[in-house]
Structure 1
Amino acid sequence: MFKYFLFLTLLVVVLANEDDLHAEVKSAYNSIDGNGNYKYGHDISNGVEIKAEGNVNGVHGEYYLLGENGEKIKVTYTADSTGFHPVVGAK
């Protein structure tokens, strides 16, 4: 699971621009239960939102990035033993 989190973190870093250097976390949550199920989410001041939940068998979630015209672009995904499976669409 850590590799999926690392992938998403690197994706956000690669897509960052100069304005994003001063972005701040507006809200964040995370939880994990005794069975290994987890949920987390972040809402960033630059418009990026990340939400995910999963366990050792896989993860599903969504994130929003800003397009060149300022429109939010939604990406939903699943990630499991077969790979990372994103679906891209406008919000």
Structure 2
Amino acid sequence: MFKLLILTVFLAFVSADNIDKNAEIRSYVNEAADAEGKYQYAYETSNGIQFQEAGNAAGVRGSLNYVSPEGEHISLQYTADEEGYHPVGEHLPTPPPVPAYVLRALEYIRSHPPAQLKEQQ
């Protein structure tokens, strides 16, 4: 399932007009899942795309590296387990910081609980 997701994302990049359509596969590893569910999959292409993934019944760990159409080096590492998919990469969006007024309001609420909460404590 995880391999299918990554392969789908990779195919979306391959279909873009700016990709080197003459790229060749330089290396390829495909060790199918054994009786315990352990597997390994990896490839590298002549246009700089590198992908690798390994997993077992407990989860998956992998990485993807390539150069974006804008010339930015993209490096994505991820894990996937029973708690979900966990990507890490500098190119991924991050939420904005919590505004100071919200932090002050939360601190006020913490230090001044409503009367009914005081009675329960």
Could you say which TM-score interval applies, normalised by the shorter chain?
A: 0.7 to 0.9
Deviation at 1:76, TM superposition (A): 0.3
Asked if 1:54 is matched to 2:52, the reply is no
Paired residues for 1:29-40 under 5 Å: 29-31=29-31, 32-40=33-41
In 1, Cα distance between equivalents of 2:83 and 2:53: 18
The residue number in structure 2 matching 1:9 is: 7
Aligned residues: 88
**Structure with greater helix percent:** 2
Secondary structure at the residue paired with 1:6?
helix
The residue number in structure 1 matching 2:82 is: 81
Task: Decide whether aligned partners of structure 1 residues 87 and 72 sit closer, same or farther in structure 2, where only a CA change above 3 A counts.
Answer: same
State the structure with more CA Rg. Answer: 2
Identity %: 33
Deviations 1:4-34 (A, max 9, x none): 1110011011123233432221101122444
**Structure with greater strand percent:** 1
In 1, Cα distance between equivalents of 2:79 and 2:20: 26
CA RMSD of aligned residues (A): 1.9
Q: Which amino acid aligns with 2:79?
A: T
The residue number in structure 2 matching 1:70 is: 71
Deviations 1:67-91 (A, max 9, x none): 234342110000122221110137x
Task: Decide whether aligned partners of structure 1 residues 20 and 6 sit closer, same or farther in structure 2, where only a CA change above 3 A counts.
Answer: farther
- Give the alignment's TM-score, normalised by structure 2: 0.63
